[in-house]
Amino acid sequence: MRYSRSATAVAAGLGTLALALSAAAPAVAESTQAEAEKADVSVFHAVPGLTVDVYANGKKLLPDFKPGTLTAPQPLASGSYDIKVFKAGADPQGKPAIEKQVEIPAGANATLVAHLTADGSPTLDAYVNDTSKVAQGKARLTVRHVAAAPAVDVRADGTPVFKGLVNPKEATAEVPAGSINADVVLAGTADVVIGPAELNLKAGTSTVVYAWGSAQDKNLALKVQNLGTGQTPPGVSGGEGDAMADRGNAVTWAAWGALGTAALAGALVVRRRSAQRD
């Protein structure tokens, strides 16, 4: 009789656990789907001399955003965004310095860049970052021309890697991992306009270099963005996106574990009370 009651208690506990898990599963599935529909978005302010407020769909996204600042990636819902950039403190009902409709695809890693066109007018462009895996021993190097400047060549250790790059285009290549001295020259010449700058391209990583500023105002500069690729070579961080994913997985597993522990505790309490009555 005692055995029968104990077995009944365990069965009841297992039933409670099954119900808890079945109830939690749709919520977990919905949460996972919602995360999949988001994108990791960074913003780079590449308009010299102008501190701004950035609005997305009428809401202030970045106040007092200073030139040369690149934000860490933040999760945003995918879809269409009306981006407006105002001089810091300006009335958001007035005319923005920059306005553009941008599409953020689901699951993408993207960077919004407020910058100058080749002729010096402020504009906004959205770039989707390639975070796919790279070949063993290689690193991905991407260069984006977002400066008020003519066509340029980008060199590594004095050798042109990307030729004739014009604003607002980008160029990408997989290169041997290691340190390089990068500089930017006017296309077809040896006239250095930016750099040199040392880049440490670690195996399995993706690095984006922005040439920004104004040639006329003599404030051309480089900005470096390091991205994860889903690979985690020894001693190399997988990047902010991967860290966020790891934290999300940890929370999910903790929630499942808490449900299982609570149900099991309930089963043991029922079993203990049954044994005391017997």
Q: Domain ranges for the chain, please list them.
A: 2-33+243-277, 37-128, 132-238
Which residues neighbour 239 within 8 Å (Cβ) at sequence distance 6 or greater? 131, 205, 226, 227, 228, 229
CATH number for region 132-238: 2.60.40
pLDDT, tens digit, 9 for 90 and up, residues 206-224: 999 999 999 999 999 999 9
Is the whole-model pTM more than 0.85? no
**8-state DSSP, 70:** B
**Helices within 55-152 (DSSP H only):** none
Q: Say how far apart CA 82 and CA 56 lie, in whole Å.
A: 6
Same CATH fold assignment for domains 37-128 and 132-238: yes
Please give the backbone phi and psi of residue 27, each rounded to the nearest 5 degrees, phi first: -65, -40
Instruction: Classify burial at 30, counting beta carbons within 10 Å of its beta carbon; exposed 0-12, middle 13-18, buried 19 or more.
Output: exposed
Task: Name the CATH topology of 37-128.
Answer: Immunoglobulin-like (2.60.40)
Question: Which pair of tokens denotes residue 159?
Answer: 């050798």
Q: How many CB atoms lie within 10 A of CB 96?
A: 20
Residue carrying the six token digits 């902010």: 240
The pLDDT tens digits of the residues spanning 49-91 come to 999 999 999 999 999 999 999 999 999 999 999 999 999 999 9
What pLDDT, on the 0 to 100 scale, is given for residue 238? Answer: 32
Of 106, 139, 115, 117, give the one whose Cα is nearest residue 50.
Answer: 115
Gyration radius of the chain over CA positions? 27
